[in-house]
Amino acid sequence: MLPQQELSKLPQYEFLKIISHSPHVAQVSLNRPTKRNALHMPLWEQLRDCFRRLAADPNLRCVVLSGEGAMFCAGIDVAMLASQPKLDTKDVARIGMRFRQDLRKLQECVLALSELPVPIIAAIHGQCVGGGCDIASFCDIRWSDPNTTFSIREVVMGLTADLGNLQRLPRLVGNDSLFREVCYTGRDFTAQEALTMGMITRVTDNVVAEAVQLALTVAGRSPVAVAGIKEMLNHPHRAPVADAMNYIQALNAYLLQTEDLKRSIEASLTKRTPTFSKL
């Protein structure tokens, strides 16, 4: 547990922009706009550090999570996937254990959001892809602008989503069939479809400004009551989500060793259509 600190004492992050809208409301923006806020390891780690520090701020009452530039988040950085070091072993068990260790570190980054004791409002615009949806899934409230395009795109990259999309979102959406469709295909879907399935709850042209106003309203309520509400609402889901996150660690320990992943990354980088071997 970090010692108590105030918002003004947060470090200057290279890939996060922090704005204080009041002593009780912080806006955290993914700040890698030239890369469409794609999630590489430094951004993941700064996100984890930031939210752990915010959790130690006794004045904080609500957070708005947004993205700088043209979009909220383009998902995990493909270059990060392509640059994973090769292990000096062919032992499947040892490779799997290493994969699981690395995955656990990434899961800690998104779980830092769920462990924040105050509400988080996601203000989504432009595009919200893959890892961006993972991050949004751990926010309490998700709003977007009308032109946002969403995609749970891990399947296109030969991946089984392991940071929240398949572990937390199914407990939030109300249209299981539509959700499975977008997960199995990796296709883009609109803000209206996201609204229909319950992934988001409001579509508005001024999403960031309105999210900040909502955060200020929440901050005006009893912080003890709001924290208690969040704790109670999270309680029924905490164990199932934790179990699902642990299970996907074990599952992806061998699924991530597939040649499909390598072929998908190469196809993405060269703008080709990948071909896959039989199951």
Is 58 contained in some domain? Answer: yes
Of 126, 131, 132, 164, catalytic: 131
Lowest mean pLDDT, pick from 92-96, 204-208, 210-214: 92-96
Mark whether 134 is an active-site residue.
Answer: yes
Is 213 contained in some domain? Answer: no
Total of domains in the chain: 1
The parent domain of residue 123 ranges over: 7-208+219-270
Mean pLDDT of the chain: 89
Is 178 contained in some domain? Answer: yes
Mark whether 131 is an active-site residue.
Answer: yes
Look at 226 and 3; give whichever has higher pLDDT.
226
CATH number at residue 62: 3.90.226.10
Is 277 contained in some domain? Answer: no
pLDDT-above-70 percentage for the chain = 95
Question: Which pLDDT belongs to residue 148?
Answer: 98
Lowest mean pLDDT, pick from 100-109, 149-158, 170-179, 235-244: 235-244
Mark whether 154 is an active-site residue.
Answer: yes
Mark whether 91 is an active-site residue.
Answer: no
Question: Which pLDDT belongs to residue 254?
Answer: 77
Q: Looking at residues 132-142, what average pLDDT do you find? A: 95
- The β-bridge partners of 25 are 22, 62
Three-state secondary structure readout of 64-123: EEEECCCCCECCECHHHHHCCCCCCCCCHHHHHHHHHHHHHHHHHHHHHHHCCCCCEEEE
Of 18, 76, 121, 248, catalytic: 76
Mark whether 76 is an active-site residue.
Answer: yes
Of 154, 158, 248, 265, catalytic: 154
Is 263 contained in some domain? Answer: yes
Of 134, 140, 193, 260, catalytic: 134
Is 278 contained in some domain? Answer: no
Q: pLDDT digit string (tens) for 10-25? A: 899 999 999 999 999 9
Q: Looking at residues 29-54, what average pLDDT do you find? A: 96
